[in-house]
């Protein structure tokens, strides 16, 4: 049984974990807009926000170092573009790209590691996102690991039948054979996923599925949420206004 | 745990086994297909979010038409399938490998509306859980891959999928879907002022073409294998489509190719274009006029007014979508 690190983090206890997901989503969107629209003094702004986010992560009892490393996921992508910008004679823009994308990813990471995914999606639903789409997303996440494990088993089985590490059916077979073998494997995975969905649906019907997920917990808006939203909106905005005033 | 890391990073890092050039290629393609936050300029992401929201709302309604709740698990599990399918490598010679993107395959099996919903859900999970693509850029990524990509992929199948050119139509669908998404993303990045020397641009276009051909070949291979397993997996093209789908598909393709042409004639992005035509100063005064008195003494920041206007606009469109999508 696999558990993603994020799932473990999002089940911890802290003042931030207890907040209503809606208030965290609103604060995140404000912060992202503040970062996304910035084009002057980006280094100072990102530095200030980074300190702010780091403090938030500490309040939420999250492992700061592991989170900083995890947010580096964006760097390989943005790094390539920063290098291209550098080559095109605009190193400032390249550096701004890296900083903005890193701070944004760190902020999103704090949201998802303080909110369990069902609660998060329910927050989005209450903020007006289409329910059907969110239900599909939730099913997707639930079966992501099941289907991926199935794909891994199939890959292992293919290797046991003599496929080399390079492809699905390797050895003496040419590229064309290996290609069609991989296509066949994907088709089998497709068929198995399809039938699994049918079985899931029958199981859901037998438990009288009403057509939507019954929420196990209701969202409650507390005074702490109001305080958090006010801080989450005011601090980044004022920080940016202050930095742009100074320059 | 390794398996999870692979899902999360969508396997691009496996390029490390193959050498730095493959890593570079994968990183570039990935960043273009899943644009992170901070890359797009404000007008671009705001307009794309505003465009994607009603489009997704429409797709959700179309996918729910004749709603039976079997569709919820089906679409979710097929989304998980597309995720997992990226773990299966396809050899394409000279030591490199490709993997399925999936928009066209889903459109041929589930229909274009359901495919758009599944792809949107995939992009949302990738952005939220795996930080793969931005949140403000989510509308852009959804428009590129889930709306335009799926429609462009379905177009050749809808037009020619019934007759003798069926195999060619399936291949063209896969290729066109990837090409359209990539070209749209490229145009949006150029409009945002991300500079690219001509050489880099040429290399990226060549890469897009290669990955489009790979996607076409994979889609064709999987569809043929599926028809061998159980023919009714694959939809007949006439069953689920109307002329509006064709029109939208043509529009998506035209938009992608036109966007690149326009973007390459405006090398410094939309700002310069706006300055040249004088739109910027007019738009600025239009947006800031109601708040002028406050700004002079209070905050002195035009961006705040713009950001607020954008947020209000987003809220309005969200409200409209909510009313449109709500079950009646």
Q: Mean pLDDT of all residues in chain B?
A: 74
Please report the number of interchain residue pairs, chain A to chain B, with beta-carbon separation below 8 angstroms: 305
B319 has a pLDDT exceeding 90: no
Measured CA to CA, the distance from residue B52 to residue B147 in angstroms comes to: 8
**B26-80 pLDDT, tens digit each:** 666 666 678 888 888 888 888 899 889 989 998 888 888 855 667 888 899 999 9
Q: Which residue of B122, B200, B221 is in closest CB contact with A179?
A: B221
| pLDDT for res B316 | 66
Measured CA to CA, the distance from residue B322 to residue A128 in angstroms comes to: 6
B248: Cβ contacts below 8 Å, ≥ 6 apart? B151
Q: Does B77 touch chain A (CB under 8 A)?
A: yes
Domain boundaries, chain B: 2-277, 279-328
| pLDDT for res A189 | 92
| pLDDT for res A25 | 93
Q: Pick the closest to residue B63 from B126, B17, B102, B121 (CA basis).
A: B121
Average pLDDT over residues B205-215: 86
B11 has a pLDDT exceeding 60: no
| pLDDT for res A140 | 92
Q: What would the DSSP string read from start to end of B185-201?
A: HHHHHHHTT----HHHH
Average pLDDT over residues B225-248: 75
Measured CA to CA, the distance from residue B135 to residue A111 in angstroms comes to: 12
Residue of chain B with shortest Cα separation from A93 = B194
Contact A113, A10 (CB under 8 A): yes
Q: Percent of chain B scored above 70 by pLDDT? A: 64
Say whether A182 and B87 touch across the interface (CB within 8 A). Answer: no
Which pairs from A80-86 meet CB under 8 Å and 24+ separation? A80/B24, A80/B27, A80/B28, A80/B31, A81/B31, A81/B39, A81/B194, A84/B194, A84/B195, A84/B196, A84/B197, A84/B200, A85/B194, A85/B195
When pLDDT is cut at 50, 70 and 90, the band that residue B265 belongs to is low
**A65-99 pLDDT, tens digit each:** 888 888 887 887 788 778 878 877 778 888 888 89
Q: Going by CATH, does the domain composed of B2-277 fall within 1.10.1760.20?
A: yes
Residues, chain A: 247
**B73-125 pLDDT, tens digit each:** 889 999 999 988 877 777 766 556 678 888 999 999 998 899 999 999 999 99
Best probe of the A interface among B19, B60, B84, B125, by most A CBs < 10 A, is B84
| pLDDT for res B249 | 75
CA-angle at B246, arms to B242 and B252, nearest 5°: 140
Domain boundaries, chain A: 5-127+218-246, 131-206
ipTM value of the model? 0.89
Q: Which of A50-54, B118-122, B291-295, B313-317 has the lowest mean pLDDT?
A: B291-295
B228 has a pLDDT exceeding 70: yes
- Kindly give the confidence (pLDDT) of every residue in chain A, 247 residues in length, as a single tens digit, with 9 standing for 90 and above: 345 777 788 888 888 888 999 999 999 999 999 998 887 888 899 999 999 999 999 999 999 888 888 888 788 778 877 887 887 777 888 888 889 999 999 999 999 999 988 889 989 988 888 888 999 998 899 898 889 888 888 888 887 877 654 544 445 556 777 788 888 889 999 999 999 988 988 888 888 877 777 766 677 788 888 999 999 999 999 999 898 888 7
B311 has a pLDDT exceeding 70: no
Measured CA to CA, the distance from residue B287 to residue B300 in angstroms comes to: 14
B246: Cβ contacts below 8 Å, ≥ 6 apart? B155, B158, B159
Chain B stretch 222-251, residues whose beta carbon is closer than 8 A to a beta carbon of chain A: 222, 224-226, 228-230, 233
B5 has a pLDDT exceeding 70: no
Instruction: Find chain B residues with C-beta within 8 A of A178's C-beta.
Output: 91
| pLDDT for res B222 | 93
| pLDDT for res A8 | 81
List residues bridging with B97 in a β-sheet: B91
Q: Which residue of B76, B197, B221 is in closest CB contact with A143?
A: B76
Q: Which of B12-16, B236-240, B322-326 has the lowest mean pLDDT?
A: B12-16
Give the DSSP H/E element, type plus range, for residue B90.
strand B90-91
| pLDDT for res A76 | 77
The encoded tokens of residue B170 equal: 């399936």
Instruction: Find chain A residues with C-beta within 8 A of B80's C-beta.
Output: 139-140, 143-144, 146-148, 193
Contact A211, B69 (CB under 8 A): yes
């Amino acid at each position: 049984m696999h558990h993603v690190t994020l799932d473990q983090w999002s089940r911890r206890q802290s003042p931030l974990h207890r907040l209503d997901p809606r208030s965290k989503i609103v604060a995140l969107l404000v912060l992202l807009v503040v970062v996304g629209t910035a084009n002057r003094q980006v280094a100072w702004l990102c530095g200030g926000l980074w300190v702010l986010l780091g403090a938030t992560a500490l309040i939420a009892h999250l492992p700061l170092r592991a989170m900083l490393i995890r947010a580096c996921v964006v760097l390989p992508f943005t790094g390539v573009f920063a290098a291209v910008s550098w080559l095109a004679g605009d190193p400032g823009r390249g550096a701004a790209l890296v900083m903005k994308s890193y701070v944004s990813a760190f902020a999103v990471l704090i949201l998802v590691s303080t909110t369990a995914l069902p609660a998060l999606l329910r927050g989005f639903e209450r903020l007006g996102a289409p329910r059907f789409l969110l239900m599909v997303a939730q099913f997707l996440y639930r079966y992501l690991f099941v289907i991926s494990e199935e794909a891994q088993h199939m890959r292992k089985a293919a290797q046991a039948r003599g496929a080399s590490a390079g492809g699905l059916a390797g050895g003496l077979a040419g590229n064309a054979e290996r290609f069609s073998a991989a296509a066949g494997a994907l088709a089998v995975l497709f068929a198995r996923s399809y039938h699994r969905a049918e079985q899931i649906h029958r199981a859901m019907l037998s438990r009288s599925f009403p057509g939507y997920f019954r929420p196990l917990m209701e969202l409650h808006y507390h005074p702490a949420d109001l305080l958090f939203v006010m801080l989450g909106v005011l601090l980044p905005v004022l920080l940016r206004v202050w930095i742009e005033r100074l320059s | 745990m390794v398996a999870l890391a692979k899902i999360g990073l969508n396997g691009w890092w496996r390029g490390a086994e193959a050498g730095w050039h493959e890593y570079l290629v994968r990183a570039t393609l990935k960043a273009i297909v899943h644009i992170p936050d901070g890359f797009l300029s404000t007008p671009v992401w705001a307009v794309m979010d505003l465009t994607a929201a009603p489009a997704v709302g429409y797709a959700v309604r179309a996918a729910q038409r004749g709603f039976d709740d079997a569709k919820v698990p089906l679409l979710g599990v097929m989304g998980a399938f597309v995720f997992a399918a990226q773990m299966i490598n396809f050899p394409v010679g000279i030591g490199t490998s490709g993997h399925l993107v999936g928009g066209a395959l889903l459109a041929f099996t589930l229909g274009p509306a359901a495919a758009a919903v599944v792809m949107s859900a995939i992009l949302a999970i990738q952005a939220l859980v795996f930080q793969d693509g931005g949140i403000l850029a989510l509308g852009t990524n959804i428009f590129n891959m889930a709306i335009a990509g799926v429609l462009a992929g379905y177009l050749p199948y809808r037009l020619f999928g019934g007759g003798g050119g069926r195999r060619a139509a399936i291949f063209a669908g896969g290729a066109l879907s990837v090409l359209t998404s990539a070209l749209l993303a490229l145009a949006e990045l150029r409009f945002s002022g991300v500079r690219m020397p001509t050489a880099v641009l040429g290399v990226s276009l060549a890469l897009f073409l290669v990955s489009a051909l790979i996607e076409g070949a994979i889609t064709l291979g999987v569809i043929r294998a599926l028809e061998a397993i159980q023919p009714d997996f694959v939809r007949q093209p006439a069953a689920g489509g109307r002329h509006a789908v064709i029109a939208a598909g043509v529009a998506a393709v035209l938009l992608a190719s036109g966007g690149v042409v326009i973007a390459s004639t405006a090398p410094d992005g939309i700002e310069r274009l706006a300055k040249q035509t004088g739109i910027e100063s007019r738009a600025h005064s239009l947006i800031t006029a109601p708040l002028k008195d406050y700004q002079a003494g209070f905050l002195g920041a035009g961006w705040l007014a713009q950001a607020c206007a954008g947020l209000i606009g987003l809220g309005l469109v969200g409200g409209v979508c909510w009313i449109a999508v709500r079950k009646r």
